[in-house]
Amino acid sequence: GFALLPFLWAVNSVWFFKYAFIVPPFEEQKQIRK
């Protein structure tokens, strides 16, 4: 069980960064810059 935890965390982080950088919300970025 403990051996699978790091693997699951790695997969989750990969999916998170994919959606964070490949599909960035441009409207939200403009609001943050303002």
Joined tokens for residue 1? 């069980």
Q: How far apart are CA 9 and CA 4, in angstroms?
A: 9
- Residue 10: C-alpha distances to residues 3, 7, 15, 27, 31 (Å): 12, 5, 9, 29, 31
pLDDT at 3 over 70: yes
- 33 pLDDT higher than 70: no
Q: What average pLDDT does the segment 10-31 reach? A: 76
Q: How far is CA 18 from CA 4, 5, 7, 22, in A?
A: 21, 20, 17, 5
* Confidence (pLDDT) at 26: 64
Task: Report pLDDT for 17.
Answer: 86
Comparing 9 with 3, the larger pLDDT belongs to 9
Q: What are the sequence ranges of the domains in the chain? A: 4-29
pTM beyond 0.75: the answer is no
